[in-house]
C-alpha cells in the first residue's frame, strides 16, 4: 500500500511539474499565432522563453527517466574495482573551470587510495549533482571544497560549500523527490528537486550512505560514505 501511494504521488508530482512549462510554451505559441506578420526578431523574447522551458522539460524528463528506470531496476550497472584517483579526480576536473569562472574558489584535498567496488558512470553522475548544487547555492567569492577521509571500513568524500546552508528541519527532506527548500528562490536556478533523490538512489545502489551537515560558520557539507573493498 505504501509503495503504491508513493508511486501515485510521484506520478502526480511529475505531471504537475510537466504542466507548468507546457502551459507557458502553449501560451507563447498561441500568442505568436495571433501576430502572423511579425518577424522572428520581433518575437525573440517569446521564442527565448519557450526555449528555456523546453530545456527545463528536457532535463526534467531525463531525471524522471533515471528515477523510473532505477525503480524498476531496468538499468544495467557496471561495477568494477577502482580507486578515488579514477572515480573522483577525473569527473571533478571540468568543475575547476566552471567554478572559477563564477568567481568562486574550488579546493581539492583528496588523500586516500582505498579500493572500492563501484559503477564509475553513476558516481560521476552523483558528483555532478553535488558539485552543481554546491555551485548553485553558493554566492560569488564563496568556497567549494572536496576532501576525503576513512572512517573504519568506510570511505567518505565530502563536498562542502560556504553557501546558503540547509536548515535542520530540511536535512532529511531534501533527499525526497520534488522537494525544494524554497520554491520561489529556486525557480531561477531551474531545478525540480530531483537531483538529491537521484543522488540518494545512486548511493543506495552502492550500499552506502549520504547525508548533509552544517559547514560552520555557514554553508553545508554533503557526506557520501561508501564501503571499502580493501585498503592499500
Residues near ligand ADP (CB under 6 A): 129, 133-134, 137, 161, 163-166, 174, 179-181, 186, 191-197, 220
Instruction: Give whole-number Cα distances, 163 to 15, 185, 195, 219, in Å.
Output: 31, 14, 17, 4
Smallest gap from residue 129 Cβ to ligand ADP (A): 6
Residue 26 grid coordinates? 502553449
The answer to whether the beta carbons of residues 146 and 109 sit under 8 Å apart is: yes
Q: Which residues contact residue 106 at a Cβ distance below 8 angstroms, ignoring those fewer than 6 apart? A: 95, 96, 99, 100, 143, 144, 145
Identity of the residue, 136 or 229, whose beta carbon is nearer to ligand ADP in the bound complex? 136
Smallest gap from residue 137 Cβ to ligand ADP (A): 3
3-state class of 44 per DSSP? helix
Smallest gap from residue 166 Cβ to ligand ADP (A): 5
Identity of the residue, 25 or 174, whose beta carbon is nearer to ligand ADP in the bound complex? 174
Smallest gap from residue 51 Cβ to ligand ADP (A): 19
Q: What φ, ψ does residue 176 adopt, rounded to 5°?
A: -80, 160
| Nearest residue to ligand ADP on Cβ basis | 191
Identity of the residue, 137 or 155, whose beta carbon is nearer to ligand ADP in the bound complex? 137
Identity of the residue, 27 or 190, whose beta carbon is nearer to ligand ADP in the bound complex? 190
Q: Is the four-CA dihedral 17, 19, 24, 28 of positive or negative sign?
A: positive
Amino acid at each position: 500500500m505504501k509503495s503504491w501511494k508513493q508511486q501515485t504521488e510521484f506520478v502526480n508530482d511529475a505531471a504537475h511539474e510537466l504542466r507548468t512549462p507546457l502551459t507557458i510554451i502553449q501560451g507563447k505559441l498561441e500568442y505568436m499565432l495571433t501576430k502572423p506578420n511579425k518577424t522572428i526578431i520581433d518575437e525573440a523574447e517569446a521564442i527565448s522563453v519557450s526555449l528555456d522551458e523546453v530545456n527545463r522539460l528536457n532535463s526534467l524528463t531525463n531525471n524522471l527517466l533515471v528515477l523510473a528506470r532505477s525503480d524498476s531496476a531496468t538499468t544495467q550497472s557496471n561495477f568494477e574495482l577502482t580507486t578515488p584517483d579514477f572515480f573522483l579526480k577525473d569527473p571533478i576536473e571540468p568543475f575547476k573551470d566552471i567554478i572559477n569562472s563564477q568567481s568562486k574558489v574550488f579546493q581539492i584535498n583528496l588523500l586516500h587510495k582505498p579500493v572500492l567496488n563501484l559503477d564509475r558512470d553513476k558516481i560521476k553522475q552523483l558528483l555532478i549533482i553535488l558539485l552543481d548544487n554546491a555551485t548553485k547555492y553558493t554566492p560569488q567569492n564563496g568556497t567549494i571544497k572536496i576532501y576525503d577521509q576513512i572512517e573504519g571500513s568506510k570511505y567518505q568524500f565530502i563536498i562542502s560549500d560556504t553557501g546558503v546552508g540547509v536548515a535542520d528541519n530540511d536535512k532529511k527532506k531534501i533527499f525526497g523527490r520534488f522537494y525544494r527548500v524554497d520554491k520561489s528562490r529556486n525557480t531561477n536556478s531551474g531545478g525540480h528537486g530531483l537531483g538529491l533523490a537521484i543522488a540518494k538512489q545512486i548511493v543506495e545502489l552502492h550500499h552506502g550512505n549520504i547525508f548533509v551537515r552544517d559547514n560552520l560558520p555557514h554553508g553545508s557539507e554533503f557526506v557520501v560514505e561508501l564501503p571499502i573493498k580493501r585498503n592499500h
